[in-house]
């Protein structure tokens, strides 16, 4: 049932460009899609292990910069006459490298902070994002600082029978983002239903018990952080090659907040939550723009958020899915009633 629904949703998103011809809206869908991938990666950490990464945009931004620099090339002086020179590689290699390097950063941050967890993890991730932003701003030889990296090439992919295809148009990029989002969704779904995923959920639900059945807490959390960061890096790479210009503003804290809003409103810990929350809060500003003054837009945005969290505190998907017959039924606390029948059985 859930699988059929996922496929129908995928087919629906695939059909959007067939009836939606407005390039402005298509652009909004592409950037929203990129952020939904980021939100899905954040949900893996927040929803399935309970760890809030408030610097999640760092992994996204690192992915964007790694991918951009790999495909643009650079010539950076290190000491004296010693330079590190890199000639441009194809953007697809940049994408791969973005995934790897972001994943590596996830490993480092996880390894550093999961010894203490909770609030400390939040602080470490915020600091990490800020440090990375300052590096991007000040290491002008590498990143151009506030002057931004420009002319980032579009992604070129090799297709069987079609040869090489450079994804320049909005339509092409829409399908690229949709494909990466679908793969990320599939990967996350496989992961949380695997042996490891059960360890992650067990850890969140009852840590003492999880340790007693032999789960290695630090290992499980670090692995999740690596995968989460790698997916965020993939989203960042897509962003860089679609927008084709990036500056240190990609590390803005507000972007992390947007992802948190997408995850929490949609429902953390549910696979579809970040998608639902992402579509709502990614497209809401775009839909409000033509009908309201700028001040009113943000007030409305805030009111919608408050309304959702007030009415559905666990998020949209966990509240609505059981009513539609999907997913897990919610846990209802059940009073212990010892009737004559059960008493006989217990005795």
Partner 1 sequence: MLEIRDIVCAYGQVTALKGISLSVKAGQLVALIGANGAGKSTTLRAISGLVPSRSGQMMFDGEDITGVGPQRVLTKGIAHCPEGRRVFPHMTVAENLDMGAYLRTDTSEVAVDRDRIYGEFPRLAERRKQAAGTLSGGEQQMLALGRALMSRPRLVMFDEPSLGLAPNIVERTFAIIRAIRDSGTTVLLVEQNAFAALEMCDHAYLLESGRVVLSGGGAELIANEHVRRAYLGG
Residues forming beta bridges with residue 166, ordered by sequence position? 156
Interface with partner 1, residue 195, by CB under 8 A: yes
Interface with partner 1, residue 341, by CB under 8 A: no
CB 270 to partner 1: min, Å: 12
Rounded Cα distance between 255 and 55, Å, is: 9
Neighbours of 18 (CB within 10 A): 8
Q: List the one residue from 202, 287, 292, 298 that touches partner 1 (CB under 8 A).
A: 202
Neighbours of 21 (CB within 10 A): 9
| Gyration radius of the chain's alpha carbons | 22
Interface with partner 1, residue 323, by CB under 8 A: no
Give, as ranges, the residues between 44 and 103 that touch partner 1 (CB under 8 A): none
Q: What angle do CA 39, 116, 210 make, to 5 degrees?
A: 80
Interface with partner 1, residue 343, by CB under 8 A: yes
Residue 244 vs residues 71, 90, 98: alpha-carbon distances, Å: 11, 14, 15
Q: Which is nearer to partner 1, 169 or 206 (CB)?
A: 206
Q: List the one residue from 206, 245, 302, 306 that touches partner 1 (CB under 8 A).
A: 206
Interface with partner 1, residue 346, by CB under 8 A: yes
Interface with partner 1, residue 327, by CB under 8 A: no
CB 338 to partner 1: min, Å: 6
Q: Where are the alpha helices (DSSP H) in the chain?
A: 2-19, 23-48, 56-72, 91-113, 119-138, 140-143, 170-192, 195-205, 207-212, 217-243, 253-266, 273-288, 294-311, 316-324, 340-346
CB 1 to partner 1: min, Å: 14
Q: List the one residue from 3, 21, 323, 334 that touches partner 1 (CB under 8 A).
A: 334
Q: How many residues bind partner 1 (CB under 8 A)?
A: 30
Interface with partner 1, residue 163, by CB under 8 A: no
Is 226 within 8 Å of 110 (Cβ atoms)? yes
**Residue partners of 111: CB distance under 8 A and separation at least 6:** 218, 222
Give, as ranges, the residues between 4 and 33 that touch partner 1 (CB under 8 A): none
CB 49 to partner 1: min, Å: 14
CB 317 to partner 1: min, Å: 15
Is 44 within 8 Å of 269 (Cβ atoms)? no
Q: What is the total residue count of the chain?
A: 347
Q: List the one residue from 160, 163, 290, 333 that touches partner 1 (CB under 8 A).
A: 333
Q: In the stretch 211-230, what mask flags binding to partner 1 with x, by CB under 8 A? A: xxxxxx--------------
Q: Which is nearer to partner 1, 76 or 204 (CB)?
A: 204
Give me the residues that bind partner 1 (CB under 8 A), please. 195, 198-199, 201-202, 205-206, 208-216, 328-329, 331-334, 336-338, 342-343, 345-347
């Amino acid at each position: 049932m859930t699988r059929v629904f996922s496929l129908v949703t995928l087919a629906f998103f695939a059909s959007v460009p067939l009836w939606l011809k407005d390039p402005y809206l298509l652009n909004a869908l592409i950037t929203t899609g990129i952020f939904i991938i980021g939100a899905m990666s954040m949900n893996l950490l927040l929803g399935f292990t309970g760890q809030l990464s408030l610097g999640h945009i760092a992994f996204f931004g690192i992915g964007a910069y790694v991918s951009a620099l790999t495909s643009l090339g650079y010539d950076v002086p290190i000491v004296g006459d010693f330079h590190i020179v890199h000639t441009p590689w194809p953007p697809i290699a940049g994408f791969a490298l973005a995934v790897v390097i972001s994943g590596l950063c996830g490993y480092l941050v996880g390894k550093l902070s999961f010894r203490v967890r909770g609030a400390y993890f939040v602080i470490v991730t915020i600091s990490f994002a800020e440090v990375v932003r300052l590096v991007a701003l000040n290491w002008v030889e590498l990143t151009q600082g506030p002057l931004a990296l420009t002319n980032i090439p579009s992604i070129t992919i090799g297709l069987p029978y079609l040869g090489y295809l450079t994804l320049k148009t909005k339509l092409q990029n829409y399908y690229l983002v949709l494909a990466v989002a679908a793969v990320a969704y599939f990967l996350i779904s496989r992961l949380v239903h695997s042996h490891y995923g059960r360890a992650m959920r067990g850890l969140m639900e009852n840590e003492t018990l999880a340790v007693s059945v032999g789960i290695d807490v630090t290992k499980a959390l670090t692995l999740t952080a690596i995968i989460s960061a790698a997916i965020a890096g993939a989203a960042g790479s897509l962003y860089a090659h679609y927008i084709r210009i990036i500056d240190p503003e990609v590390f803005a804290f507000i972007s992390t907040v947007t992802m948190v809003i997408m995850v929490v409103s949609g429902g953390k810990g549910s696979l579809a939550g970040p998608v639902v929350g992402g579509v709502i809060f990614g497209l809401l500003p775009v839909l409000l723009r033509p009908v309201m003054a700028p001040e009113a837009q943000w007030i409305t945005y805030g009111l919608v958020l408050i309304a959702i969290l007030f009415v559905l505190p666990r998020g949209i998907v966990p509240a609505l899915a059981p009513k539609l017959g999907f997913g897990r039924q919610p846990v209802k606390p059940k009073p212990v009633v010892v009737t004559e029948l059960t008493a006989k059985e217990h005795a």
